[in-house]
């Protein structure tokens, strides 16, 4: 009995050791800087290394090119240690700009001197309108004679009875037995 139980113990011990070896074989040995599931494990980062598209521990010198952009170190869309000359364009904006009169900046006029009747952005500025002039499809300062047609409408109309205006009868008096 003792021999059998000793043997059983030995077998069980062997099984346990085998199981532990199997576990060890399946466990990955992770070294520093290995990538596990898209993450860095135990990473030692040197300055200026790029990790996941970001700079870590960066020392930026002026005018260095970072991420393919020039003009004074662009880091993640921000300027670092920038020296901007006047009239430089940074991220679509003018920095330290000296604007001459009538210059166009970003589609807007800056310091504009407008002469009368100039058209600015589709609008008339400082316009002197003569009577009956057409401005943007509208009549300005119009003197309308009676029965004139303005924009498809009658203005100041005196309608006689039974007149047809725009396909409708206005002020109609209908006699009996007349078929309309």
In tens digits, the chain (180 residues) has pLDDT values of 566 677 666 656 655 555 544 444 444 454 554 454 455 555 445 544 555 445 454 444 444 444 433 443 444 444 444 444 544 444 445 444 444 544 444 445 444 444 544 455 545 554 445 544 555 555 554 445 554 555 555 555 555 544 555 545 554 444 444 443
Query: What distance in Å separates the CA atoms of residue 176 and residue 93, rounded to the nearest whole number?
Result: 78
Q: Is residue 155 part of a domain?
A: yes
Q: Is residue 44 part of a domain?
A: no
Give the residues across from 40 on adjacent strands: 35
Q: Is residue 90 part of a domain?
A: no
Q: Is residue 30 part of a domain?
A: no
Q: Is residue 108 part of a domain?
A: no
Question: What range does the domain containing 137 cover?
Answer: 118-166
3-class secondary structure, 157? coil
Dihedral, CA of residue 90, residue 93, residue 96 and residue 101, to nearest 10: 140
**Ramachandran quadrant class, 73 (left: phi over 0; alpha: psi -120 to 50; beta: rest):** left
Q: Is residue 39 part of a domain?
A: no
Tokens of 89: 């364009």
Which residue matches tokens 């008096």? 173
Q: Considering the entire predicted model, what is its pTM?
A: 0.14
* Structural domain count, the chain: 1
Query: Which helix (DSSP H) or strand (DSSP E) does residue 26 occupy?
Result: helix 2-26
């Amino acid at each position: 009995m003792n021999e059998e139980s000793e043997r059983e113990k030995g077998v069980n011990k062997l099984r346990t050791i085998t199981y532990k070896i199997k576990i060890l074989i399946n466990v990955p040995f992770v070294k520093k800087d290995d990538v596990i599931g898209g993450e860095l494990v135990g990473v030692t980062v040197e300055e200026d290394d790029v990790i996941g598209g970001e700079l870590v521990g960066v020392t930026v010198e002026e005018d260095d090119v970072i991420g393919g952009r020039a003009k004074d170190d662009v880091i993640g869309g921000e300027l670092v240690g920038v020296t901007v000359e006047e009239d430089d364009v940074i991220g679509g904006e003018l920095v330290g700009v000296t604007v001459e009169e009538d210059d166009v900046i970003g589609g807007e006029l800056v310091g504009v001197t407008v002469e009368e009747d100039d058209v600015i952005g589709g609008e008339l500025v400082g316009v002197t309108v003569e009577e009956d002039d057409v401005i943007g499809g509208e009549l300005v300062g119009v003197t309308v004679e009676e029965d004139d047609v303005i924009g498809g409408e009658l203005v100041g109309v005196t309608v006689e009875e039974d007149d047809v205006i725009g396909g409708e009868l206005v002020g109609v008096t209908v006699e009996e037995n007349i078929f309309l």
